[in-house]
Amino acid sequence: MRYLRFFGILSKVTGNEPGEIQAAKSSRGQSYPGRKMDEHINTMKKQEVHIRGLRIGGGRSCICVPLTAKTLPLLDAELASLAGHTYDMIEWRADLFEEIPDRKTLQDILLRIRAAIGETPLLFTFRTKNEGGEGCCSGPKYRDLLLGAAASCVVDLVDVELFTAAGNAQVLVGELHLLGTAVIGSSHDFSGTPSAQEMRSRLCRMQELGMDITKIAVMPRTRQDVLTLLSVAVEMEEHLGDRPCVTMAMGPLGVLTRISGSLTGNAITFGTCGAASAPGQLPCNELADILQWTHACEVR
């Protein structure tokens, strides 16, 4: 049956359902009345996320290009350089900016990005130092920053770090949903590759918390680490996952995981149009060519 899972999350968080949500639920297949999240589709088991016409989790990996500039002039140059490149989504790595912006500055920067990228889905990410980024905030400050981005009416998806949000994760996810944004739950391990059991546990925990897309990135030390990550990805795709999942092994050893596409059910892969935001990322145009070729082979 086709249904809108998003409303179930709202009901759990708020304890009631606004009139417009009840009306939408009564009309099967109607899109969520918010500004960006189109709908969640569940066919038998696996859900998809549709945002601004982009289908995430439908088998073919979406290409996301990160913006990594530290200043406004460099950000403008980075946005201008997107012309002629192939991508499906844009990520703004706000933690790499020269300073954490206040609400007004954050709104201005996001509007600047939206003006440049048009209707391309926009992911807001503030990667903390514990997860391999440059961000230093946590607790209420981390929450306020993510909610400020969501309240801008510009951002489509917000990255929520599983361990940074910790005990407040479920409430934060609900607040972000109420503001109309989808949530990518994430966990990053730059020190190595956790056990298969630990990786499965993290991804399943993200599902339990209501995160719309689950993501784990690890640093392989051996080829076996890469195979362990790939096996977890396949297990999530075939047995444990009920929504789009993103998995990657970073660095040169992990390049294969970035181009695995529908073989492992990898919903999003990150490619560069300038500086990389993580080790092992490929140029987005080359990545697009590889994914197009592999997808063509799979559907023959």
> How do beta strands 89-93 and 122-125 pair?
parallel
3-class state of residue 212 by DSSP? coil
CB neighbour burial string for 188-200, b if at least 16 within 10 angstroms, e if fewer: bbeeebbeeeebb
Closest by CA to 57, choosing from 214, 279, 255, 281, is 214
Q: Give the per-residue pLDDT at 5.
A: 31
**Is 188 known to be catalytic?**
yes
**Residue 91 pairs with which residues in a beta bridge?**
66, 123
Residue ranges of domains in the chain: 61-299
Closest by CA to 82, choosing from 71, 90, 73, is 90
For residue 252, the Cα-to-chain-centroid distance in whole angstroms is: 22
Closest by CA to 283, choosing from 86, 6, 49, 15, is 86
Q: Phi, psi (5° rounding) for residue 11? A: -60, -40
Closest by CA to 9, choosing from 216, 121, 175, is 175
Q: Residue 282: which pLDDT band, with cuts at 50, 70 and 90?
A: confident
CA neighbours within 13 Å on the CB side: how many for 79? 20
- pLDDT surpasses 60 at 35: no
pLDDT, average across residues 22-44: 36
What are the tens digits of pLDDT across the range 170-195? 999 999 999 999 999 999 999 999 99
Q: Which of these CATH numbers, 3.40.50.460, 3.10.20.90, 3.20.20.70, 3.30.70.260, describes 61-299?
A: 3.20.20.70
Q: Residue 51: which pLDDT band, with cuts at 50, 70 and 90?
A: very high
3-class state of residue 217 by DSSP? strand
To the nearest whole number, what is the mean pLDDT of the chain? Answer: 83
What are the tens digits of pLDDT across the range 208-234? 999 999 999 999 999 999 999 999 999
Instruction: For residues 220 and 262, give the distance between their C-alpha atoms in angstroms, rounded to a whole number.
Output: 21
In single-letter form, the type of residue at position 246 comes to V
The DSSP string of 130-168 is: GGTSSB---HHHHHHHHHHHHTTT--SEEEEEHHHHGGG
- Residue 50 vs residue 283, higher pLDDT: 50
This prediction has a pTM of 0.83
Which one from 12, 45, 188, 239 is the annotated catalytic residue? 188
Which one from 70, 215, 239, 295 is the annotated catalytic residue? 215
- pLDDT surpasses 80 at 59: no
3-class state of residue 231 by DSSP? helix
**Is 239 known to be catalytic?**
no
pLDDT, average across residues 14-43: 36
Instruction: For residues 243 and 57, give the distance between their C-alpha atoms in angstroms, rounded to a whole number.
Output: 7
Lowest model confidence (mean pLDDT) among 159-163, 259-263, 291-295: 291-295
Tokens of 16: 């009631």
Q: Residue 294: which pLDDT band, with cuts at 50, 70 and 90?
A: confident
- pLDDT surpasses 90 at 72: yes
Q: Give the per-residue pLDDT at 13.
A: 34
The CB density around residue 209, as the number of other CB atoms within 10 Å, is 20
Q: Residue 46: which pLDDT band, with cuts at 50, 70 and 90?
A: confident
Angle between helices 5-14 and 169-178 (to 10 degrees): 120
Q: Residue 297: which pLDDT band, with cuts at 50, 70 and 90?
A: low
